[in-house]
Structure 1
């Protein structure tokens, strides 16, 4: 098992943190593609196109080629849309990590080091909706260091920070493709309390769901 240490973010970590977030989020592209392919209307469109081309061309090669090309095009479009989402995140709170988290009251950003290399991150900031809620954000662990308990340790770091700063709960959002992350959070003690479809045209079109989790901090007795 790797020996790791959790420490506060430093400005020298900037590029590594952003690269770690980008690479981690990029891993979900195949899962997003599979989810979209399972949508009834997508299956219906592909089936109708295949049958129409087969009936008109009286050939199996043309419809197979057409469906393959359409799937390849769809993969490129979904990959592009996902990259736009990642770029948007990089332009928001990850644009100036020091200002957003380290210089803001009630916020913090942590990194995990193994042999002086950063292999994980997590952040926390106050909720905009409730003053006693802390939002856990930007959880990411490098692929070759998963399964070692690092994500759980980062989650507990945020919970401890929330407890010491007087927050009553920690909340977070997960995407429907983040199945491993959901299991990890549930093992730590987070409970899912809301699930909704992403309120955008794309979200509604492909039934892309967001799950919200909460960890309630019990008062010390």
Structure 2
């Protein structure tokens, strides 16, 4: 098993951290496509298109080609939308990591290092709704280093930081496609307390669900 260590962010980590986040988020595109494909209205549109073209052309080739084209187009659109979300994150808190996470009280950014490379990241910052709670953000572990307990160790680093700072809880958000991440957080001790569909037209259209988790710190577990 590869040995790793967790340390605070350095300015020299900037490009690697951003690239690790981008690659990690890009991995969810196939899962997002499958999630959208399972929506009843999408299945209805594809089925109707197939049946209408089959009846009008009396051939299987045209309806199959049309459905294949629609699936390919949908994949491109979803991939583009997802890349826009990634770009938004890179231009938000990951634009100036030091200023966002290393120069503000209650904020911090860690990296996991193995084989002289950065293989994982996590960050934390105060909640805008409650100053006594922190938000865990930007958890990412390189694909070839998953299953080694790195994500759990990064989560515990955040929990320890919050406990030392006297905060009452650590919160985090997960998306409907982050199945493995949810299992990992639950194994560490996080509990889901809210689940909702993103309140936008697109969110409702594709049933884009967000789950909110929390880890209560006080009283400390025995």
TM-score range, shorter chain: over 0.9
State the partner residue of 1:205: 205
Structure 1 length as normaliser, TM-score?
0.99
Q: What is the rounded CA distance, in whole Å, between the counterparts of 1:193 and 1:9 in structure 2?
A: 30
Deviation for aligned residue 1:64: 0.3
3-state SS of paired residue (1:80): helix
Structure 2 length as normaliser, TM-score?
0.98
| TM alignment of 1:66-81, pairs within 5 A | 66-81=66-81
State the partner residue of 2:135: 135
Could you list the structure 1 runs, at least 4 aligned residues long, displaced by more than 6 angstroms after superposition.
none
3-state SS of paired residue (2:129): coil
Q: What is the rounded CA distance, in whole Å, between the counterparts of 1:171 and 1:150 in structure 2?
A: 19
Q: What is the rounded CA distance, in whole Å, between the counterparts of 1:183 and 1:5 in structure 2?
A: 23
State the partner residue of 1:177: 177
State the partner residue of 1:65: 65
3-state SS of paired residue (1:147): coil
Matched, 1:87 2:87: yes
State the partner residue of 1:125: 125
Q: How many residues align?
A: 221
Q: What is the rounded CA distance, in whole Å, between the counterparts of 2:195 and 2:163 in structure 1?
A: 26
Gaps of 5+ in 2: none
State the partner residue of 2:193: 193
Deviation for aligned residue 1:10: 0.3
3-state SS of paired residue (1:53): helix
Q: Kindly provide the CA deviation profile for residues 59-88 of structure 1, in whole angstroms up to 9, marking residues without a partner as x.
A: 000000000011000000000000000000
3-state SS of paired residue (2:171): strand
3-state SS of paired residue (1:105): coil
3-state SS of paired residue (1:192): strand
The alignment yields a C-alpha RMSD, in angstroms, of: 0.8
Q: Kindly provide the CA deviation profile for residues 190-216 of structure 1, in whole angstroms up to 9, marking residues without a partner as x.
A: 000000001111111000100000000
3-state SS of paired residue (1:95): coil
State the partner residue of 2:25: 25
